[in-house]
Amino acid sequence: MDKQKNIVIIGGTACGPKAGARARRCDPQARITIVEQEDNLSVATCGLPYYVSGTIVSQSKLVTRSPEFFRDVMNIKTLIKTKALAINRKAHKVEILELKTNRVTTLDYDKLVLATGSIPIVPDVVGKHLEGILTLTKIKDANAFRELLSPRQIKKAVIVGAGLIGLEMAEALAVEGLEVTVIEAMNRVLPTLLDFEMATYVERHLQAKGIKLALGQRVIGFEGDENAWVRKVITENTETKASLVLLALGIKPNIALAEEAGLAIGHTGGIAVDQYLRTSDIDVYAGGDCVENVHRITQQKILAPAGSTANKHGRVIGTNVTGGAETFPGVLGTTIAKVFACNVARVGLSESQAREYGYDVSTCLVPGLEYASYYPDGKEILVKLVVESSSGRLLGGQVVGLGEIAKRIDILATALTFGATVDELANLDLAYAPPYNSAVDPLHDAANVIRNKHAGYAKTLTPMEINNKIKQGEDFVFLDVRSPSEWESHRIEAPQVRLIPLNGLRKSLDVLPKEMEIVTFCQTSRRAYQAQRILDGAGFRNVKFMDGSIDAWPYEISSNEPRAAR
């Protein structure tokens, strides 16, 4: 009979407990120990903003498993409030500190699992240690927020960083009645996720919900009051009063233990692992936020911390530390967030990332409805695809909107996994019934727009390109083909704009200059494309349409009403 295997897992949030449970199911005999510094195991960290906002009422909801569960059901020993101090790889030992007693002991291991997670990035600026400046990665952080908020005395908050946690917390704090300013060093919200025009969509929604945005502003310090409590956030150009600050600049892998133990660290800053999630030591595995992942499109190493990935890692590690040989194929950086009523998601590469990687890129901007237009109350979404021009292969997608987008991003994630082309995307047999979808899904539409571009039928300019032309006073016709009533309701104002409704276009060809550049647009770009084809067919030489048209226009429009319910 085999010697009973000794498995030690450092980290008890997501990957660690999952690895332990899987290891137990694969090996009923192994000795399994989980070491966790905090006082809870199996914590749903992604729920923290919703716990701060009160959507999730009780802390206990976020703790999905108790130490008793691990003991009684899983036969796993859990050491909570216990910090791993050092790994002695040669001796196969981990030195641990019991925080309550300050007692240091050691654990022997045959296989060690590092699931040490991540730590929040804190900017090295003056005043960063003032009271009232918080991060949010643990339940105790969320409780700190709740305690600060419950007396209802704090009126103004600043969130530093317009990433996922920043925007989720903007909502959580606004719901609590605070005046919230989000300061972001980049020129847009969610800069690592979204391209400019998609981010703008989210920004309009945030502003409509009362969130103040200070974009392109780098925080250089914090000012405190006489009690060393924060009262001001200072950027190069601005000062913003606040008595509560969330630092939401992202997280970085917690690699201290691994590094000190001499394990290989990737250039991304995460622990380097192979496809079996084994570190540079064959007896040490690592998973979750502390490791780097392979991006399935670029095959490059990236950091992509996510609870979903941590769980998958846990399974792979649990299998492998008990003698299996499961592999993890990598990630697509799939991300989704609710920002007030706006749903925001991306998968794969953004346009800017794809261009940085040197891909020859086609894109499209396609507004659509979440389900059949004739079924009541369907809400708007906006799809952007990023496609390799030469092959038609999908590289990434972004979807934002008040309507259903999780489905669309997951379809794209699945398609990307298998190297789908736009031809394949356009012919996916997606489920159609009026309460769920249109006969032609917005993704089908988007794929067809790219196909039409590649076939030479559709010729487009992006809203950004057109805005530049307008700013430079270029001579072209910017042809609105909507109806007069739509024009009355809202319109783009520029000297180049002319209105000829689509249904009158064939009769109005004479009034348009045949040799001049014409860029058509409408609300969603469907009519604009049709108009382009009409003009092409009538011998006009230089006609394009605006990708995404008004629905994707990231700049000002003149309107008699507030801009569509974003």
List residues with catalytic annotation: 46
CA distance 125 to 560: 45
Work out the number of other CB atoms within 10 angstroms of the CB of residue 429. 5
Token pair for 232: 């001001």
Scanning residues 125 to 184, which ones bind a second copy (CB under 8 A)?
164
62 sits in which H/E element: helix 59-62
Q: In the complex with a second copy, which residue's Cβ is closer, 217 or 438? A: 438
224 sits in which H/E element: strand 219-224
Question: Please, which residues have CB within 8 angstroms of residue 389's CB and are 6 or more apart in sequence?
Answer: 360, 361, 362, 454
Scanning residues 7 to 26, which ones bind a second copy (CB under 8 A)?
14, 24-26
Smallest distance, a second copy to C-beta of residue 501, A: 10
Contact between 412 and 387 (Cβ < 8 Å):
no
Q: In the complex with a second copy, which residue's Cβ is closer, 46 or 186? A: 46
Among the residue ranges 141-149, 208-216, 431-439, 556-564, the one whose residues contact a second copy (CB under 8 A): 431-439
Token pair for 472: 């430079």
Listed in order, strand segments (DSSP E) in 340-427 are 342-348, 361-369, 380-388, 394-401
Q: If binding means CB under 8 A, how many residues of this protein chain bind a second copy?
A: 95
- Asked if 561 touches a second copy (CB under 8 A), the answer is no
Smallest distance, a second copy to C-beta of residue 50, A: 6
Token pair for 447: 């794929």
- Asked if 432 touches a second copy (CB under 8 A), the answer is yes
Token pair for 312: 């998958």
From 6, 31, 39, 46, residue interacting with a second copy (rule: CB under 8 A): 46
From 129, 506, 541, 563, residue interacting with a second copy (rule: CB under 8 A): 506
From 196, 276, 357, 375, residue interacting with a second copy (rule: CB under 8 A): 375
Smallest distance, a second copy to C-beta of residue 222, A: 29
Q: CA torsion sign, 319 to 324 to 328 to 329?
A: negative
Scanning residues 187 to 246, which ones bind a second copy (CB under 8 A)?
none
From 38, 389, 434, 476, residue interacting with a second copy (rule: CB under 8 A): 434
From 110, 141, 424, 465, residue interacting with a second copy (rule: CB under 8 A): 424
Among the residue ranges 90-98, 151-159, 500-508, 515-523, the one whose residues contact a second copy (CB under 8 A): 500-508
Smallest distance, a second copy to C-beta of residue 16, A: 13
Scanning residues 262 to 321, which ones bind a second copy (CB under 8 A)?
296, 306-312, 315
CA distance 390 to 196: 24
Query: Which three-class secondary structure state does DSSP give residue 219?
Result: strand
Q: How far is CA 488 from CA 220, 480, 482, in A?
A: 46, 12, 10
Q: In the complex with a second copy, which residue's Cβ is closer, 221 or 307? A: 307
Contact between 290 and 116 (Cβ < 8 Å):
yes
From 35, 76, 255, 411, residue interacting with a second copy (rule: CB under 8 A): 411
Scanning residues 51 to 110, which ones bind a second copy (CB under 8 A)?
55-57, 61-62, 64, 68-69, 72-75
The 346-365 site mask, x for binding a second copy (CB under 8 A), equals: -x------------------
Listed in order, strand segments (DSSP E) in 189-315 are 212-215, 219-224, 230-235, 239-241, 244-247, 251-253, 284-286, 293-294, 301-302
From 373, 472, 485, 560, residue interacting with a second copy (rule: CB under 8 A): 373
Scanning residues 323 to 342, which ones bind a second copy (CB under 8 A)?
328-338
Place of tokens 């794209």: 412
From 435, 557, 558, 563, residue interacting with a second copy (rule: CB under 8 A): 435
CA distance 271 to 308: 18
- Asked if 250 touches a second copy (CB under 8 A), the answer is no
CA distance 86 to 97: 10
From 144, 175, 428, 464, residue interacting with a second copy (rule: CB under 8 A): 428
In DSSP terms, which residues pair with 368 in a beta bridge?
381
Token pair for 462: 């992006």
Q: In the complex with a second copy, which residue's Cβ is closer, 218 or 498? A: 498
